[in-house]
Chain A
Amino acid sequence: EPEVTQTPSHQVTQMGQEVILRCVPISNHLYFYWYRQILGQKVEFLVSFYNNEISEKSEIFDDQFSVERPDGSNFTLKIRSTKLEDSAMYFCASRWTGKNTGELFFGEGSRLTVL
């Protein structure tokens, strides 16, 4: 069964460093998402991406964040200059169909620890 895969599973970085989290969505999916979950808190929507551009983003997704689909398979989340409060679990998700229907398929997450 196809799955969304994420790398790395855990990354430790120093404050101020750039981090890139990678995701490989399910191959025939068209809509891609990043979510964040700070330890003990809820899953927060960051950004959605379709047709090579951001379709929606939350207030969390400020200028420090960017997303890219550099090739036909990867979907990346870049944090330009990490802050302590960026420490969280980051989940990638994808779905094949349009905005208001369809199941989201999640990756297992990338845990980011900022020291």
Chain B
Amino acid sequence: AQRVTQPEKLLSVFKGAPVELKCNYSYSGSPELFWYVQYSRQRLQLLLRHISRESIKGFTADLNKGETSFHLKKPFAQEEDSAMYYCALSDMRFGAGTRLTVKP
């Protein structure tokens, strides 16, 4: 079955600390993977996609086919990064989400 797993429902770090939000996937074939973010009182929006290999707001994510992972990383978290983060597969099914809280 094709699915995305985000093992952490909640993640809390201090400002300036590194952060890693985990995402593992199960997919037959070559997946396209995405990270979406939902800030408080805002709509869901794309943060980044693996195919473009870009860094958005300091976040990066590398597709590791050996570990079937697409973890989201940022070296120095900021308070404005506090949000709900969803990993998604190309069939647009989402993981359970991780709520990131960055404390001052």
Contacts and interface: CB of A to CB of B under 8 A. Distances in A.
B50 to A, nearest CB: 11
B92 A48 contact: yes
Interface residues of A, number: 22
B43 A109 contact: yes
B46 interface: yes
A101 B32 contact: yes
A44 B96 CA distance: 9
B32 A100 contact: yes
A18 interface: no
Interface residues of B, number: 19
Given A101-B32, A103-B49, A104-B36, A43 B94 contact: yes
A25 interface: no
Nearest to A95: B92
Nearest to B86: A43
Given A99-B90, A103-B46, A109-B43, A42 B32 contact: no
Contacts of B97: 42-43
A56 B89 CA distance: 14
Contacts of B91: 45, 56, 99-100
Interface in B18-52: 32, 34, 36, 43-46, 49, 51
A35 B36 CA distance: 14
B93 interface: yes
B63 to A, nearest CB: 14
> Across chains A and B, which 6 residue pairs bring their CB atoms closest together, nearest first?
A100-B90, A106-B44, A42-B96, A103-B46, A43-B94, A106-B43
Interface of A: 4, 33, 35, 41-45, 48, 56, 91, 93, 99-101, 103-109
